[in-house]
Amino acid sequence: MKKLQILVLCLLTKASFSQVPADSALVRLIEGNKRFVEGTTIKPNQSLERLKEVSTGQNPFAIIVGCSDSRVPSEIIFDQGLGDLFIVRTAGQVSSYASWGSIEFANAVLKAKLIVVLGHTKCGAVAAACNLPEVPGHIVTLINEIKPAATLAKEHIHKPEELIDSAVYYNVALQVEKLKQLEPVLSKAVISGDLKIVGAVYNLSTGKVEFLPADFLEKK
């Protein structure tokens, strides 16, 4: 994106230019999830003062690309508040053009330096991609995107009951790679070191978010 275009978008959104480095953003998420799991949440940035503070502009410190599942609300599981997270949610956290534009906007204009692709255990969209030969309507768009992960999982699991959660991890890892290579905004930002993209899986039973190693796919 050209500098002039970014400047115009910033003026339109009244975005401030305060920037949180990716590693610091990651620490904030890890610490927030730890509080959530331990039952010691502080519910930061949820006061009326914060409401007023962010009413004129936003400066989220991380982008979460997560599943729409009602049990995985990012602000709650990471113990964050208003203006903290820029969130894109679709079933199976499948990204397409509208999602990509949203993510690029958050990075290029709002200056968020960290993207977390957040899957979760027992994901229904992933289960459908693993087990259902046909699905109705536009759901097929989601399933087709997740199928490569289902195929990889089927090649690597030792027991049938491992299939869905294994596919959840592969789906996240493949989505991370796809976003890293997405032209023209994200790929450039990743190469220049201006953006970090990591994968993570939320455990529905424990509330814990497990961050995937960068070489997850290479190790498999």
What does the binding site for Zn ion look like in residue numbers (CB under 5 A)?
A: 67, 69, 123
CB 132 within 8 A of CB 143: yes
Q: Identify which of residues 69 and 84 has a Cβ nearer to Zn ion in the complex.
A: 69
User: How many C-alpha atoms does 79 have within 13 Å on its Cβ side?
Assistant: 22
Nearest alpha carbon to residue 77 among 220, 204, 217: 204
Among all chains, which residue has been given the structure tokens 């204009």? 109
Phi, psi at residue 57, to the nearest 5°? 175, 165
Among all chains, which residue has been given the structure tokens 């534009």? 101
Number of Cβ within a 10 Å radius of residue 32: 24
Q: Identify which of residues 20 and 149 has a Cβ nearer to Zn ion in the complex.
A: 149
Q: In the complex, what is the shortest distance from the CB of residue 126 to Zn ion, in angstroms, rounded to a whole number?
A: 7
Q: Identify which of residues 120 and 196 has a Cβ nearer to Zn ion in the complex.
A: 120
Q: Identify which of residues 94 and 152 has a Cβ nearer to Zn ion in the complex.
A: 94
Q: In the complex, what is the shortest distance from the CB of residue 178 to Zn ion, in angstroms, rounded to a whole number?
A: 17
Q: In the complex, what is the shortest distance from the CB of residue 125 to Zn ion, in angstroms, rounded to a whole number?
A: 5
- How far is 136 from 216, CA to CA, in rounded Å? 32
Q: In the complex, what is the shortest distance from the CB of residue 129 to Zn ion, in angstroms, rounded to a whole number?
A: 11
Q: Identify which of residues 69 and 104 has a Cβ nearer to Zn ion in the complex.
A: 69
Phi, psi at residue 30, to the nearest 5°? -65, -45
Q: In the complex, what is the shortest distance from the CB of residue 206 to Zn ion, in angstroms, rounded to a whole number?
A: 16
